[in-house]
Amino acid sequence: MRYDIAVVGLGYIGLPTASVFATRGKQVYGLDVSEHVVNTINRGEIHIVEPDLDVLVQAAVGSGHLKAGLKPVPADVFIVAVPTPFHKGKGRPIPDLGFVESASRSIAPVIENGALIILESTSPVGTTEAMREWILEERANLGLPPLEGAHYVHCPERILPGQMLRELVENDRICGGLSPEGAKRAHDLYRTFCVGEIHLTDARTAEMVKLTENASRDSQIAFANELSLVCDRANIDVWSVIELANHHPRVNILNPGPGVGGHCIAVDPWFLVDTAPDCSPLMQTARRVNDGKPNWVLQQVQKHAERFTRAKVACLGLAFKANVDDLRESPSLQIVEALADLDELDLFVCEPNIESLPDSLQRAHITAASAEDAISKADIVLLLVDHREFGDIDRELLHNRKIIDTRGLWR
């Protein structure tokens, strides 16, 4: 069977995208390397936490318009939505495009003339061109003829976990092609469900725009996080400072937190830095400020723990942001893992959006608990994520406990 669309990677971006297309009548094939993910989706169920996604997937699979599998199949359109992490280099992280290359080579044998190949993964500048070269090289290695009339486009996702389905439909999109015709074809495809404006440009510009968006956010958060350190040193409530400063008509300071996580803001600025390391000192400094904040939080816990023979710490939240199950690059998880290495502490950990604690926290002195149970047993309460469940906690439970509120939720 030849499908309208094949989505490569059924994670936080690929699965919502595949499901939305399927519920708009497209025949969609979802390709993933995980047999568990494939089987889960083919049952009409989901393997990630996202509001209303379960209903959408169930409808898409039930209608026969969405099917998942482990092997590539022919399609008119291929959408690549796989991770783009980084690995440690000398002095700074280096982009790791291994997943994009693997995905490109895996679909190369089934791509036919005239196909539209779209890269949605946030990537360093030039990745769309590299994807084309990997596909053509793989076909040559297999003795297959060059592709005629194929178009390559970068269409970066711009959606927020917790609001994916709404933003997928409503947000503006960018279609950056290696050819104007490719960008126009991608425009027509996304118009299937996108009600926002769709902007056409070239692939390199589209790649740079997505990196710019996230690097800008990272710099703004770095200012807030650095301000929180200054206010702490001066014994001033940073939340009050920001609230009052934001009454200025041209000031809009973000709120600080325990660091920056997720697969976008914590990663993408390094992709931009990689393009021109000598021209990006501000972006590199912002990354280091945000990467340093978890260590400051850790020091706060250690300072207060010295008052107790064996301190009991309630750690509330592991996800990188509120009301999701996504632990990728999470500063909250990083902090709790560092606390777990301190054998003189007993930890009671609550993350309401996951079924069990990560393997890194499976230790004798760590207990998974509800928020209320964790707080009731604790000497120190460390709020790391502003999940809605934590906002609803009875404040009476917090009395006579040292509170470290990294989100300002319980001001």
Pair (152, 226) in one structural domain: no
Q: What is the pTM of this model?
A: 0.89
Q: Which of 164, 196, 228 is the last residue of a domain?
A: 196
C-alpha 68/C-alpha 46 separation (Å) is 12
Pair (102, 51) in one structural domain: yes
User: Residue 278's domain spans which residues?
Assistant: 214-405
Pair (365, 244) in one structural domain: yes
* CA proximity to 125, closest of 199, 200, 208, 183: 208
Residue 203 lies in a domain: no
Q: How far is CA 30 from CA 9, 22, 39, 48, 57, in A?
A: 7, 10, 11, 15, 12
CB 65 within 8 A of CB 28: yes
Q: How far is CA 231 from CA 188, 194, 379, in A?
A: 50, 43, 25
Pair (253, 388) in one structural domain: yes
Pair (165, 105) in one structural domain: yes
Residue 207 lies in a domain: no
User: Which residues are part of the catalytic machinery?
Assistant: 210, 264
Q: Tens-digit pLDDT profile for the chain (411 aa)?
A: 899 999 999 999 999 999 999 999 999 999 999 999 999 999 999 999 888 999 999 999 999 999 999 999 999 999 999 999 988 877 788 899 999 999 999 999 999 999 999 999 999 999 999 999 999 999 999 999 999 999 999 999 888 888 899 999 999 999 999 999 999 999 999 999 999 999 999 999 999 999 999 999 999 999 999 999 999 999 999 999 999 999 999 999 999 999 999 878 888 999 999 999 999 999 999 999 999 999 999 999 999 999 999 999 999 999 999 998 989 899 999 999 999 999 899 999 999 999 999 999 999 999 999 999 999 999 999 999 999 999 999 999 999 999 999 999 998
Counting the structural domains of the chain, the total is 2
C-alpha 134/C-alpha 143 separation (Å) is 14
Residue 348 lies in a domain: yes
Pair (148, 69) in one structural domain: yes
C-alpha 83/C-alpha 65 separation (Å) is 25
